[in-house]
A and B are shown apart, each in its own frame.
Chain A
C-alpha cells in the first residue's frame, strides 16, 4: 500500500510559512463545499470528538447540507436530545434543526454487534449465517475484539455512503470514530482484518477441512500439537469450526475493507483531527497527521478543543502572585488576592497551552487549526451544539 498516488496533500486553506502561527481551519468553507462528502473526526479519547462531530453535522445541516452523523458513544443526554438513544442502527431525523436553508440532519448511534451480524446475514446463506452467529468465537469476535468497533464504524460508513450515492438521501456524512486505545487503531482495523484473513494460521486451521493430506507437514502437526497442549482440544475444535464457517465470507470482507480504505482516501473525504491542549492528546494528533499523510488520506485540519480562555489585562502571572501575597499578608481572606491568584492560574494555563500548540505547529506548520475555548458546562442539547459549531467556525 506504500506506492499509492497521493490525491491531495496539505490543508485546504493557505498557510503562512516561517511562523509558528498555523493557518486557520475555515470550518464553514469545508462544510459548505459541495466537494466535501465525508467528514471523519478522529483523535484520542476524552478530547470531545463526539461533540465536535455532532456540532459540525448540525452546523452543516443548518447551512443547507443534507447531513447524516454517525456517532459512536455519545453522552446519554446528548443522545436523548438528538433522539438517538435507541440503538436500532438506522439513521433517524433529528428534531429541532433549523431547515430554513434547505438542509436536514439525521443521526444514528453505531451498534457494533448488530452491524457485524448484518454483514454476516447479507453475505451468507441463512443456514451458514446461523452457524456463524451461534459460534462462541464469533460472539466474542463481534462484541469484544479490539478493532471490531473501528472496523464496523467503517463498514457502516460504507453502507450509508452506498445508499446515499444510490438515492441521494445525503450529501454529507459526518463520522465520529471509536474511543480507541490509540487513534491509529481506526485506520489499521481494515488492514488488520485483511492480514487476519490472509494469515498462515487461518490457512492452517482451514487445512484439515479442505483435506489435502500433503498440507499435514511436520511443522503443522507440531503446531497443532502445541496448540492442543496450551488451549485444550475443545478450543481448537471450536476455532476450526468457526474459521471454516467463516471462510466463505472472507473474500467479501476483504473486498469491503479495501473499498472503505479507498473511500477514506477519496478527495471528497476530509479528516478533522480533534485534540485537547494536553501533551498526550497533541502527541496523538501529531502521529495521526503523519499517518494520514503516509496513507494519502486527505486532512482538513486540527481542532484544539477545550482551550482555556485568555486572561484580560496586561498583568503577568508573576506580578499577580506577588501582589496577591502582599494583600494576603495584610488580610488572609482578601477577595482581591483571590482574584489575582485566579488571574495568575489562568495566565499560566494559557501560556502552557500556547507552548504546546506552538510545538505542534513547529513540526506540522501546514496543518490548518481552529481553537475552541472550553465551555463552562457539558453540551447536551442542540443549542449547545450550535454554540460549539459557531466556536468551531471561529465565531
Chain B
C-alpha cells in the first residue's frame, strides 16, 4: 500500500484545497457505481482530526453508512460512529452519522418551527405527511436539504445538539445533484411566498456561499466522466460552488510508460521475463508467460483509455484528487487508507 500512496497521493496540495479550510458543508456526488458513498465516508474521516467533530449525512435511505462502518442501521438521530484519521501531531476527532428521512425531517421541522400540537397529529392522520414527503413535488428535497442546513447552521431551537466543525453530505447522484441542491428552483412556481419559500431561500444562501463545496466522484471511463462534465456545467449554471473532482478506483501503475507501449504493440521481451521468473524461482510454462503478456496488453489498453479520460477531467478546470483502486474491496480499514490519500492530496 505504501508505494501506491506515494504514487497517488503525493501530488502537491493544490492552492484551492488549502483555501478550503473554512468550508462547513462538503457535498459529495457521483454517478452510480463510482463509489461516492465511500469517498464521502473517507472525506469525513479525513476532516475529523484535532478533536474536530464531523457529521456524515445520508439522504437516500440506503443505510450505506451503517454498512461501511459496520454498525447497526442508523435511526434519525446523530450518532458517533468512528474516530477520525489522526494527524501525526494531534488527537483524532470524531465522525458522527445521521440518516435523514423526509418524514422524520418534516415532523421535526414542524415541531421546531410551528407549535402545531393537535394539528400536527391531524396532519399525520390525514396522510398529509405522506403526501408531502412522497408525492408533493420538490418538498422531499426541501426537507432533506433543510435538515442538512440545520446541522450546518445550528441555532438555539435545537437545544443541546452537537455543533459540527464540518458536515459531509453523501448526496444523490450526479444526474440529479443540481436539481436536488437547487431547492429554490424546484419550488419555483409552487411557493412564491410563504414560510416554505423563505426556508428554501435561507438554505440556498448557504449552498451558494463559499462555506459550501460540491465534490464530484468519477472513475476514468467515458460515461462517468461525461456526466461529471455535465454535472459541473449544471451546478455552475445555478450558482453552486464546485470543489474538486475525486477520481476513484485508478488502476495500479506497475508498468513504466515504455513497457506499456511495448505491451500494446506486443513487443515485450518474452525471453527476459522468462529469465526473470527463473531467477526468483517461479516455475513457468508457456501458458503462464502468454498469460502475463496478454494481461499486460489488456492492462495497457485500459490504461491508455484512462489516460484519455484523465485529460478530459484535467480540462474541467477544477482540482483533481486521485484514489487507487482497492482490489480486495472496501472495508473499514481501507476507508482510513482512502482518507489518508485524500488528505495527502490536500482534501481534508
Contacts and interface: CB of A to CB of B under 8 A. Distances in A.
Interface in B191-224: 191-197, 221-224
By CB atoms of chain B within 10 A, which of A146, A281, A313 has the most? A313
Contacts of B62: 182
Contact of A145 (B61, B135, B256, B285): B135
Contacts of A333: 256
> Which range contains the number of B residues in contact with the other chain?
35 or more
B194 A140 contact: no
A75 B191 contact: no
Interface in A218-244: 219-220, 222-223, 225-227, 229-235, 238-239
A231 B194 contact: yes
B32 A230 contact: no
A263 to B, nearest CB: 24
Nearest to A333: B256
Contacts of A280: 64
A161 to B, nearest CB: 27
A232 B291 contact: no
B186 A352 contact: no
B277 A336 contact: yes
Interface string B80-122: 0000000000000000000000000000001000101011101
Interface string B272-296: 1100110111100101101111111
Contacts of A360: none
Interface in A194-214: 196, 199-202, 204
B191 A179 contact: no
Nearest to A238: B190
A163 interface: no
A181 B295 contact: no
A217 to B, nearest CB: 10
The B interface, classified by DSSP as helix, strand, loop or mixed, is helix
Contacts of B238: none
B296 A342 contact: yes
Nearest to A227: B128
B255 A335 contact: yes
Given A75-B222, A333-B256, A201 B128 contact: yes
A3 B294 CA distance: 55
A181 B119 contact: no
By CB atoms of chain A within 10 A, which of B32, B134, B277 has the most? B32
A25 to B, nearest CB: 22
Interface stretch (B13-21, B42-50, B299-307, B340-348): B299-307
B223 A378 contact: yes
A338 B140 CA distance: 51
Contacts of B186: 140, 144
Interface in B323-339: 327-329
A201 B127 contact: yes
Given A232-B194, A336-B276, A342-B252, A45 B291 contact: no
Given A235-B194, A276-B33, A342-B255, 12 more contacts: A44-B33, A45-B31, A45-B32, A75-B226, A199-B135, A226-B122, A235-B196, A278-B33, A313-B287, A313-B292, A327-B279, A376-B298
Interface of A: 44-47, 73, 75-76, 136-137, 139-141, 144-147, 179, 181-182, 192, 196, 199-202, 204, 219-220, 222-223, 225-227, 229-235, 238-239, 276, 278-281, 309, 311-315, 319, 323, 326-327, 333-343, 345-346, 348-349, 352, 376-378, 380
The 10 closest A-B pairs by CB, nearest first: A232-B194, A45-B32, A312-B291, A46-B33, A46-B32, A140-B137, A313-B288, A336-B276, A136-B189, A226-B119
